[in-house]
Amino acid sequence: MEMQFQNVACSCLDSCLREVQNSEGTLEIRVPDGMPDIGKILAAWGQPILRGKEWRSESISFSGGMMVWVLYAPEDDSPVRCLEGWIPFQMRWELPGDTRDGQMRVDLSARFVDARSISARKIMVRAGLSALAEAWVLGETQLFSPDSVPGEVELRKQRFPLRLRKEAGEKTFLLSEELTVPGSSPQPEKILCCLLRPEITEQKVLGSKVVFRGNGNLHMLCSAEDGKINSLDFPLAFSQLADLEESYSGDAQVSIHLCATTLEPEIDDEGMLRLKGALVAQYLVEDIQTVEVVTDAYSPGRDLEKEVRELRLPVILDSRQESYFVEQTLPVKASGALDVQLLADFPEIRRDGEDAQIRLPGSMQMLYQDEKGSVQSASARWEARSSLHADADARVCAQPLKTPEPQLLMGGDRVDARWEIPLELVTTGYTQIPMVTGLQLGEARKPDPNRPSLILKRVGTDGLWEIAKSTGSTMEAIRKANGIRQEPEPGQMLLIPVGM
């Protein structure tokens, strides 16, 4: 006799790509007429911009670039000047096989921006952009459960709460602000650089919506009428929501990556400082889904043949946040810091058995005044390292959560900097759960007249299901005979009814 099983689809997103790609671009900037010749390059900055993404059957790609600013000291000792430009970038990632359409997320990070003078009127800018691309496809796995169960068949049904990726999408929103300069700062005359370092401060799933809040963290370097450089920071708070395709439970969580898509700072004719820009919030929703499957079956009185397959679902095994502390020393004599920028590459992860070695490299650039009041700059590379224990077949992913703010200690002929980098660490893998998908019930076995109807057994490492199956009894019969409801303790003596 064949027992019929029903199947129900369980859908979730499965990762088909997570890869970092680095690229470099160059730009030649000519000093405009009316500006003095170049004396010395002081510093350079870059703002990554995400313009567009595309999914094809064989690849995914993005287009965008980096806004760059270069600060230089003129040859005639006049106040510092700044030049700006745009370096376009395009990157492409191959997908495995002929992958059907799915969802993608791209995160951008400026690795470095260098500049050098190639003549008194020309500057060569070199910029490095790092892009993390993630892609998921929606897959369905069949879950099997029997229509009806004969009384002579014992089934082991188990419930597994699994955290699954369920949905991905994006929400673009504008930042349009009239910026109020603090009374303690002089009114800016020219914008030297403008950097947007957005961060999420709160994110959650409420039914069929993603709700998130954060700050744009606009950092500007401006020059005043007297030529002095001033650093300005504006939080640019935002609050947004995005509609989801379905409603989720209270256990649902969301991770969001923010990228700037436009950035247009200006000082208008009335001297007001304004910003027009836009951010794209790329979200990934995960939720706990409890699946119930039959993992084993037997019959005390009949032969039984099982059809078994492995339940394979991409699951999130662990998610946590950890902070890494970095210290860096610059061998310079500084009377004051005008600007400090930290750039972090995407973390590199190497497996060493059941340990994941995490390496986070980056660079630091400081613009400062020396003892004579002249503007100078210094830079250095830095690196943070750590390790995380994880099964050899699990995948560990790391993502910086925000741009750190360094603490500076100046003294003598050195500047000591210390900062904290928060990382989100996510470990993923696949389930390995045996799932019974069909049963064939055979002929009844002849009872053994010499077998006792009750046996005494000491509990070892086996659970109640294993004991019942190996002795030809049932879990319910053993519970009743011993007056227990839970699993027996190791070493406990049990009465096993077998004459059923």
3-state secondary structure the chain: CEECEEEEEEEEEEEEEEEEEEEEEEEEEECCCCCCCEEEEEEEEEEEEEEEEEECCCEEEEEEEEEEEEEEEECCCCCCEEEEEEEEEEEEEECCCCCCCCEEEEEEEEEEEEEEEEECCEEEEEEEEEEEEEEEEEEEEEEEEECCCCCCCEEEEEEEEEEEEEEEEEEEEEEEEEECCCCCCCCCCEEEEEEECCEEEEEEEECCEEEEEEECCEEEEEECCCCCEEEEEECCEEEEEEECCCCCCCCCEEEEEEEEEEEEEEECCCCCEEEEEEEEEEEEEEEEEEEEEEEEEECCCEEEEEEEEEECCEEEEEEEEEEEEEEEEECCCCCEEEEEEEEECCCEEEEECCEEEEEEEEEEEEEEECCCCCEEEEEEEEEEEEEEECCCCCEEEEEECCCCCCEEEEECCEEEEEEEEEEEEEEEEECCEEEEEEEEEEEECCCCCCCCCEEEEECCCCCHHHHHHHHCCCHHHHHHHHCCCCCCCCCCEEEEECCC
More confident residue, 232 or 444: 232
- pLDDT-derived band at 499, boundaries 50, 70, 90: low
Structural domain boundaries in the chain: 9-138+164-287, 449-500
Say what the pLDDT of residue 152 is: 86
What's the mean pLDDT in 98-125?
A: 93
> Taking the domain 449-500, which CATH number applies?
3.10.350
Residue 216 pLDDT greater than 60, yes or no: yes
User: Model confidence over 24-76: pLDDT tens digits?
Assistant: 999 999 999 999 999 999 999 999 999 999 998 889 999 999 999 999 999 99
pTM reported for the whole predicted model:
0.91
More confident residue, 388 or 283: 283
